[in-house]
Each structure stands twice: as C-alpha cells, then as structure tokens.
Structure 1
Amino acid sequence: MLRVPVQPALFAWARQRARLDVSTLDARFPQLARWESGEAQPTLRQLEQYAQATHAPLGFFFLPAPPQETLPIPDFRTVGAGVPRVSADLLDVIYACQARQIWYRDEAMVNGEAPLPFVGSLNTATPPAEAARAIRQHLGFSVQARSECPTWTEALRLFIAQAEQAGVMVMVSGVVMNNNNRPLDPQEFRGFALSDAIAPLVFINGADSKSAQMFTLAHELAHLWLGQTAVSDAPLAETPPHAVETWCNQVAAQLLVPDEDFRAVLLPGEALETALKRLAKHFKVSTLVLLRRMRDVGWLDRATFWAAYRAEEARLQALAARSAGGGDFYRTTVARVGRRFAQTLVASTLEGRTLYRDAFRMLGIVKPGTFNELGRTLGFPT
C-alpha cells in the first residue's frame, strides 16, 4: 500500500496545535506514536483523516518542517508562557470573523452606510474615566439600567444590544463556528476586536462566565474607540505588559463600575463576602472586577486583595466547571454571529445579492431548512 512521506515533527505539531494529546487520538490512529517517531508513515487516506481530526490544512503535512504560525492580528495576550503556540481553534475563529467583516463592509458600502465617527475617536492619552464616559454616553449604557436587569444574562444582552445599535457587530461563541466538538478555551483568549470604520467587530469567548463576558465586551469596545485591532485576555489581577491593554482595562473598569457610582454604594465596615454579593447584583459585573475596583479606590489593601482574588478566582472556576450548555439552536446561532450581522446576511441572501452557499459558510450551517428557520427567528417571512 502506498505510503505518504511526512516529516515526523509535523504529526506532533498538528496535534499540539489542536490541543490534543496522543491518548485522545490513539483510538482513531493507533500508529500515531510510530508516525511521530518516524518508524512508520500513513497512507494518503489516513493522512487526510488525521488532518481533519487536528483541523490542520492537508498541504502543511508536505512541508519540510512545522510552519511558524502567528496570529493575523496584534496579540496583546499575557497567557503565552503557559500556552504552547497558537491553537487551530483561535486561528479559525479569527479567520471566520475576518471573512464576515469583509463581507459586511462590502454590503454596507453598497447600501451607502457612512463611517462610524466613534471608531478611532480616542487615544491612550485620554483619561480612562473620560473615555469611559464618552463610550457610556454614546451607547446609553447606564448602571441604573443594568441594575434593573433580573439576571447576568439579561444585563449582558442589554449591553450587546446597545453596542450593536451603535453599529458594532458583537459575536459571542464558546465554540468554533457551530462545532460543539471544538470548544474555545478562555485561558487562551477572552476576546478580540477587529477595528473598521464601517464594520467594527467584537468577538467574545462565550465559554467564559457571563459576568466575565461583560468585562471583555467593555474592554474590546475600548479597543474600537482607539481604532485598534487586537486579541486580548483582559487580565484583571495584574498590570498587563502592554500600555494599550492597561488603558483598555482601566476604561472597561470605569465603564462598568464608575468611580462616583462605586464610592457612593460602598459601606464602611461591610464584610467583603456580603459586599461582593450586593455589588455584583447591583453592577452586574464579575466579582473579580469588583475586587479590582475595591483595590483601585483603596477599599482593600494589597494583601487582602490578592488573597480574596485568588479565592474568588478558584470559586468561579469550580462553578464554571459545573455549568452546562444548551439552549435553542437558532437563538444560539444568532448570538454566535451577532444579530446585526445575521439580519444583514439573511436579508442580502433573500434579496439575491449573496449566494446561499456563501451565507451557509459564514453562518456555519449546511441545510436550506436550517437557514429558513433562522430567517424566521430573525423575523423574515422565508
């Protein structure tokens, strides 16, 4: 049987790029250890199956050595030391969002939409509180409206709706496209912004908690107001090494928990656990954000902050591990690509400007019936 000569290092590269280990792939590819050691080579069919399983382009396996892949957008993450190379999942999500943005920009220009004045309207010399005030006023994003939302989910939904009303495509997904077998890792990234004057886009890692997603959205919006494209992990506990990330974090914190509002509701002598529960319900933000803000305004000293932060981080991670997914497929799909994008794409397809094939690819669906039902979910008489 004809075997394909592949450099052994490419098998390990593809496996690590997909965040898979040998034991996970061993059942499907019992010869994998021998392929990686160079003792054996796969057939073409086996190689095609392995490329599909590891989400790697087939052509890469014919290279003389593993390629040095880099992100196609600026990388402001701080998780690099603990994460081996860029994952296939993150790359595929960025490429999918870039394709959607290009399509949306073209469609918007055909429809005569004007550039959005807020994109790139600020710079890092703008005081964070002033920048947060400008974003808050443009979106109509108030603490009062959030505090009246009954749940975290409703508060996040309101925030997303306000951003989309302003012209930002907001996409929230915890998986690659609609593939539930490819979950995204919040430890690798929490979100990214693709800046554009006509088609600004924010992607939020939906595998993160709802309260964490709130901070990520605020952080990525700050990037858009700078007119800057970037992928972030939005760390809260420490000062990021990038000055831009520090500024975006400060703006996000002020946007979600403004100094004047925060100081007004802090109660001297209140137990920390009690304060966190009360303030999280009021501001609808992560308790980690509240701890950071307590440190910022001097309500907590450094030692108390770090002890409380680590304990709360462990509690939230344990809580996230017990939570389960689910929900309506069509509503989930709309959230994953953003309502603004989905409505524009469905309308363009039904009016004949976009091929169904292209719409299916950008939505991550394969059946006409699924597309028609999605259209009905969005209010189209399909």
Structure 2
Amino acid sequence: MTQAIVTPELLRWARGRAEVALEEVAKSANVSPEKVASWEQGESYPTLRQARKIANKLKIPFGYLYLSNPPEDKIPLPDFRKPSHFNIQSISLELHTLIQDTLRKQEWYREYLLSEGESRLHFVGQYGMSNDPSIVATSIGEIVEINHDLRRQAHSWSDFLRLIVLKSEKARILVLRTGVVQNNNNRPLNPDEFRGFAISDDIAPLVLINSKDAIAAQVFTLAHELAHLWLGRSGISNYDIIDTLVTQPLNRDIEDYCNQVATELLVPKESFLNFWSSQNNALSNLSQIAREYWVSTIVILRRALDLEIIDREQFFTHYRQEIEKQTDVTARSSEGGHFYNTFYARHSKQLTEGIVNATLEGNLLYRDAASLLGVKVSTIQKLAENLESV
C-alpha cells in the first residue's frame, strides 16, 4: 500500500491540539498504540487511508500532515479572557471551531440583511470607555427594553434570560446559546475556558453565550456582551466579577468596564439602594434580593461592595458561604428538552428564520442552508414547517 510520508511533528502537534490519547488515534486507524508512536517518531509511516482516518479523528485538513511546521493557530477574535489554568495564548479546538462556525453564520446573515435593504444599527459602537458606564447601561436598557417591567414579567432566572434574548433579537442582535460545537453533544464547551463572545457589526451584531454555565451567569454574560457591542469591541470573554478584588487580569479595563455596565443594567443603583434598605437584614436575605433582579447572589454582593454598603471582609465572608451553597441558580445548566427550542437557542431563531426564508425563496441552496445550520438537508423543510406553526 502507498505510504503517506507525513511529518512526525505534525502528528504530535495535531494530537496534542485535539487532546486525543494515543490509544484513541490507534483505534481510529485500526492499529496498535505502539504503531502510532512509531509514526510520531518518524520510524515508520501510515498508509494513505490510515493518514486520512487520523486527520479526520484529529479534526484537521488532511494536507496539514505534510506541512514542515505546525500552522499558526490564530485566535479568530480579540481575546479578553483573564489568566487562569487555561493557556490564554491559545484556545481549545472546540472553541476555535465554534468561533469559526459562528463567524460564518454572522457573515452570511450580514449579507442577507444587506440584500433585504436593512440599515445600519446606530447603537453599535456608539459609546467609548470615556463614557460613564451608567450612560451606556441606560442606552442598552432603552433599546433592549431591560427594565423593572421586564423583571416583573419574568417568573424565574431562565425565564428572564429568555425574555432578554427575545428583546435582544427584536433589536436585531443575534443571540446564540450553546454548550456544544455544531450540534455535536460529544464536543461540549467548557465555561471555565470562556463564558461568551461578541461580534461587533453595525448590520448584524451577534452575541454567543456558553450555555454550560449557570443560568444566572448566562444572564450576566449576555449583559456583559451587549456592553461590548455598544463599545464596538468584538472579543472573547471569561470575566470574573471578583477578579479586580484579588488579581490584575489582562485587558482589565474593557472587561471591568463591561462588568460595570452589565451590573448597572441588571441591578440599577437607585433601585438597588432602595430595595436593600427596605430589607431588615439584607445580608441574610441575599437570595430574595437576587431573585428581585434575576442575577446571582455573588453579583448582589459585589454590587453592595462597590456601593460601599458592605466592606471587603463582609463580602468575602458571605461570598464563601454563597459558593458553598451551590443552589440551583449557581449550578451549571444542561441543554435538553424540546428539540426546536434547543435548536433555536443554539442557532438563534432570528438567524434560523433568515436561512430558511432565503432557502424557500430560492436564494440559498438547501445544501448550503443545511451546512450553515449543521443539519441534514431534510431538516430544513421540517424547520420551515415548525416556524410556520409558531
């Protein structure tokens, strides 16, 4: 059989990048782990068929195996993540694939909106970090309609998140919530690596939220990423609202600023001060206050600290207590349930409608629509029927 004279270093790089064990690669090529080890050392070579199976397993183009050196794995968006146990100079294969896939969706939708004659959105990039965060929060609240009435309308954290997503899409902001890559439940996302990202564009702005995170955290992430859009700053986020108390994260300025905007948007200062003062013992009633604003108790504690209602000692004492409680609100969420609800959350109902409509109108091939949404061609018609019925 014809040998594939692959580059040993590329085999090692690809396996490390995909975080796949030697035994898994061996199984995919139907050989022993020792044989794969010999390929990685350049002592022998796989057949063409085996090399193609390896490339497929490691999720790289087949031609990469013949390169002299590993390609530069550029991060597709500005990276505003904080230092952590993850290497912030790189991203996982899952996150890289997710961003590339999302950029492709956003670029298609942008062209679609332009073909439909849609105008530019004035609020994208309308403000800068020289503006008071409360001004930006007020603007977001007015356009996305996040206010006291919306909080009263919600029945739970999940419901409040659902309402904000609906309001955001009404303002023509695509919101995607997913915990996996391209509908593949075997490729989960890690909220410790990232919580969300924003693609700033005045035609088709987009926010993606890691739905493996806690529901209350997803609410804050959406508000945080909306702030990125109002600043006109695309980027990946992995904020932590206590970071600025204990560390000096990279890109602290923009992430801290967006946190301030998100906090004012979700927990307005005047409203919060009035509600806090109405409680007999607010620190022992954090859950009720969090429910009032549909945020986490940690956000409530940080808000109280920033407004100098409590001191640092009180903050960290109660912070540790809240972390230990691990209530349903703080527990990480899982996807599941109704197929179409999950699908529209992952891909944005607004984006899905655009793709389906373009297909039915003959402006997009069924196979291209299926590729954009990561489904079979036959699913496009089923989506059309479901969208028509709701």
User: What TM-score does the superposition give when structure 1 sets the normalisation length?
Assistant: 0.91
SS in 2 for 1:10: helix
Determine the structure 2 residue equivalent to 1:44. Answer: 48
Mind listing any 5+ residue stretches in structure 1 that lack a counterpart?
none
Cα distance in structure 1, aligned partners of 2:232 and 2:347: 21
Partners of 2:282 and 2:294 lie apart in 1 by: 19
> Matched residues in 2 for 1:308 and 1:104: separation?
45
Distance 1:23 1:233, change over 3 A: farther
Instruction: Tell me the number of residue pairs that the alignment of Structure 1 and Structure 2 aligns.
Output: 379
Q: Which ranges of structure 2 fall in alignment gaps of 5 or more residues?
A: none
Distance verdict in 2 for CA 1:256–1:352, change over 3 Å: same
Aligned match for 1:325, one of 325, 328, 335: 335
Alignment of 1:177 onto 2:188:
no
AA at the equivalent of 2:274: A
Residues of 2 paired with 1:304 and 1:14: CA distance?
48
Q: Distance in 2 between matches of 1:72 and 1:322?
A: 27
Shift of 1:53: 2.1
Task: Indicate the residue corresponding to 2:382 in structure 1.
Answer: 373
Q: Does 1:16 align with 2:16?
A: yes
What residue in structure 1 maps to residue 281 of structure 2?
270
Matches within 5 A, 1:125-136: 125-136=130-141
SS at match of 2:388: coil
The counterpart of 1:217, out of the listed 217, 222, 246, is 222
Q: What does residue 258 of structure 1 align with? A: 268
User: Alignment partner for residue 210 of structure 2, among 185, 194, 205?
Assistant: 205
TM superposition shift of 1:155: 0.5
Q: How much does 1:375 deviate?
A: 1.6
Q: What's the CA shift for 1:50? A: 2.2
Give the drift of 1:294.
2.2
* Counterpart for residue 7 of structure 1: 7
Note the C-alpha offset of 1:104: 1.1
TM-score computed with the length of structure 2 as normaliser: 0.89
Deviations 1:331-375 (A, max 9, x none): 21111111111111111111111111111011110141x222212
Aligned residue identity for 2:95 = L
Confirm whether residue 286 of structure 1 aligns to residue 296 of structure 2: yes
Secondary structure in structure 1 of the residue aligned to 2:290? helix
Per the alignment, do residues 33 and 313 of structure 1 end up closer, same or farther by CA in structure 2, a change over 3 Å counting?
farther
Q: Note if contact 1:89-1:184 (Cα within 8 Å) is conserved in structure 2.
A: yes
Supply the distance in 1 between the matched residues of 2:320 and 2:16 (Cα, whole angstroms): 29
Q: Which residue of 1 aligns with 2:372?
A: 362
SS at match of 1:78: coil
Counterpart secondary structure, 2:208 = strand
Partner amino acid, structure 1, of 2:382:
E
**Cα offset, 1:380, TM superposition:** 6.2
What amino acid is aligned across from residue 10 of structure 1 in structure 2? L
Given that 1:17 and 1:86 are in contact with CA atoms closer than 8 Å, whether structure 2 keeps it comes out as no
C-alpha separation in 1, matches of 2:331 and 2:54: 29
Instruction: Say yes or no: does 1:57 pair with 2:61.
Output: yes
The answer to whether the 8 A contact 1:331-1:377 is kept is no
Show the 5 A alignment for 1:330-345: 330-345=340-355
- SS of residue matched to 2:285: helix
Q: Do 2:39 and 2:46's aligned partners in 1 also have CA atoms closer than 8 Å?
A: yes
Aligned counterparts of 2:70 and 2:386: Cα–Cα separation in 1:
44
The answer to whether the Cα contact below 8 Å between 2:179 and 2:189 also exists between their aligned partners in 1 is yes
CA RMSD of aligned residues (A): 2.5
Whether the 8 Å contact between 1:222 and 1:248 is mirrored in structure 2 is: yes
- Structure 1 residue aligned with 2:154: 149
The reply to whether residue 73 of structure 1 matches residue 77 of structure 2 is yes
Whether the 8 Å CA contact 2:196–2:208 is kept in 1: the answer is: yes
Partner of 1:241: 250
Counterparts of 1:343 and 1:211, CA distance in 2: 28
For 1:103 and 1:375, the matched residues in 2 are separated by: 19
Equivalent in 129, 140, 155 of residue 124 of structure 1 = 129
Give the conservation status (yes or no) of the 8 Å contact 2:215–2:333. Answer: no
